[in-house]
Amino acid sequence: MIIDFHTHIVSPKIKQNRDEYARRCRSFASIYSDPKAKLATAEEIIAAMDKDGVDISVVLNYGWSTQPLCAEVNDYILESVARYPKCLVGFCSVVPSEDESALKEVERCIKNGAKGIGELRLDDHLRKKHSLAMLKPIIDTIIQHNLILLTHSSEPVGHQYSGKGAATPDLLYTLITVFPDLKLVCAHWGGGLPFYALMPEVKTALKNVYFDTAASPFLYTPQVYGQVAQLVGADKILFGSDYPLIPQRRFLKEIAALDLPSDTKKKILAGNAKKLLGLKDK
């Protein structure tokens, strides 16, 4: 079995009208106003999975700037999961806010089958203690329902790229220590957070934290798999492609070529995701 823990889908309406949605959302525009930036529908990811031999994909929402846009895509994700229940697992998104709108949307999504919340972009919330406090009702609800939060992560060094953001390891570490019982997936190798696990207190704090490999070929050499496995354990790594940014097959070829124990590869490709999502064997 192969599980891709980090993919994105949008409705045909959004794909066909990306300029309109870019005008409505600065965050979306920063990446997808470029017509070369790829968008995919549910049918397209199912076709890609069939072609590349992926059994299950976790489909994530984006970091929209308004609650209505989050809800629109949440609806599409939940509808897509209902149509392809054996192939797709849905995560929904919200804009954390001082009123109860975000919490109500989280509760609605959970009621309708969401297995987690993400991909959230928490740059601004992580910078300010007041904003971080706004996350508490949402995170408490996620913990209560034994679900998962997946957050975008940013490297504090290296090249710049569209959507890099500022959710760097120091800010993620604050989130982790404030909410130690939260099952957290830090996308994009956590912006390099696993390398700080050489500090004993950091490694201890990462007990409920996982790292996905999304966009890895654009960020790191393949050595990152072995290094992170050594630092935080192979049990913490989740194969995530960031499809449609990168074809799933590119990752599968890269992982197959790694000089890692077969058991480690199995954990990365599916075992860890199955355990985290609570999936049963087919």
Domains of the chain, CATH where assigned: 3-10+40-277 (3.20.20.140)
What is the per-residue pLDDT for 118?
Answer: 96
What is the per-residue pLDDT for 130?
Answer: 63
- Work out the percent of the chain whose per-residue pLDDT is above 70: 98
Mean pLDDT of 222-246: 98
What is the per-residue pLDDT for 5?
Answer: 98
Query: Residue 191 pLDDT > 60, yes or no?
Result: yes
What is the per-residue pLDDT for 117?
Answer: 98
Confirm if 28 and 93 have CB atoms less than 8 A apart: no
Query: Residue 6 pLDDT > 60, yes or no?
Result: yes
- Choice among 125-129, 162-166, 181-185, 235-239 with the minimum mean pLDDT: 125-129
| 61-117 per-position pLDDT tens digit | 999 999 999 999 999 999 999 999 999 999 999 998 868 999 999 999 999 999 999
Query: Residue 236 pLDDT > 90, yes or no?
Result: yes
Query: Residue 141 pLDDT > 90, yes or no?
Result: yes
Give the confidence band of 2 by pLDDT, cuts at 50, 70, 90.
very high
Residues 61 and 72: their CA atoms lie apart, in Å, by: 10
| 244-267 per-position pLDDT tens digit | 999 999 999 999 999 999 999 999
Mean residue pLDDT of the chain comes to: 95
| 119-136 per-position pLDDT tens digit | 999 988 888 766 788 899
Query: Residue 282 pLDDT > 60, yes or no?
Result: no
